[in-house]
Amino acid sequence: MQIEKRVIELIEEKISDRPELFLVEVRMLPNNKLIIHVDGDEGINIQDCAAISRHVGFHLEEENTIDKAYNLEVSSPGVGEPLKLKRQYDKNIGREVGIKLSNGEAKEGKLLSVTDQGILIEAKVKEKGKKVQLVETNIDFSDITETKVLISFK
């Protein structure tokens, strides 16, 4: 994974003067596709992605880091991608999320807050014969296997 380590260094170098931007992940796939996901506290624009791509691509070529043909893809994580970093949770406070827990349970609710240990969601709970109630639930990061932002098309 020497390639990924070098790519991370190059990205951090490129965004070092942009504290609002952050690296989410770098993956070199078996089909020689290098995927870089970068995000920002207020999102990231296409110009920033292009600048990161040029910087990384230029240095990888100069250093001959990858000795075979490869595709370089720089983007923000897609809508369907699970949240990986606390910072991604922070930027999605107020949005509806779907959570898979390590015990197999699934929860949905509005993301209210984030701490270093976990998250607080507000879920709608409907018991038979009663009105829907809003219940706040703390969930530790250690209990979460996946969290995705839920997109509403209403």
Q: Taking Cα atoms as reference points, which of 49, 41, 100, 115 lies closest to residue 76? A: 49
* CA–CA separation, 3 and 6 (whole Å): 5
Output DSSP code: residue 154: -
Decide if pLDDT at 21 tops 90.
yes
Helix, strand, or coil (residue 14): helix
Q: Which of 41, 75, 109 is the last residue of a domain?
A: 75
* CA–CA separation, 104 and 73 (whole Å): 33
Decide if pLDDT at 1 tops 70.
no
Q: Is 81 domain-assigned?
A: no
pLDDT, tens digit (0-9, with 9 covering 90-100), for 61-103: 999 888 889 999 999 998 889 999 999 999 999 999 999 999 9
Residues 117, 64 share a domain: no
Q: Is 19 domain-assigned?
A: yes
Q: Is 154 domain-assigned?
A: no
Q: Taking Cα atoms as reference points, which of 9, 35, 10, 39 lies closest to residue 23? A: 39
Q: Quick one: pLDDT at residue 7?
A: 96
Q: Is 120 domain-assigned?
A: yes
Q: Quick one: pLDDT at residue 40?
A: 96
State the residue range of the domain holding 93.
Answer: 86-149
C-alpha of 106 from chain center: 19
Q: Is 62 domain-assigned?
A: yes
Residues 92, 69 share a domain: no
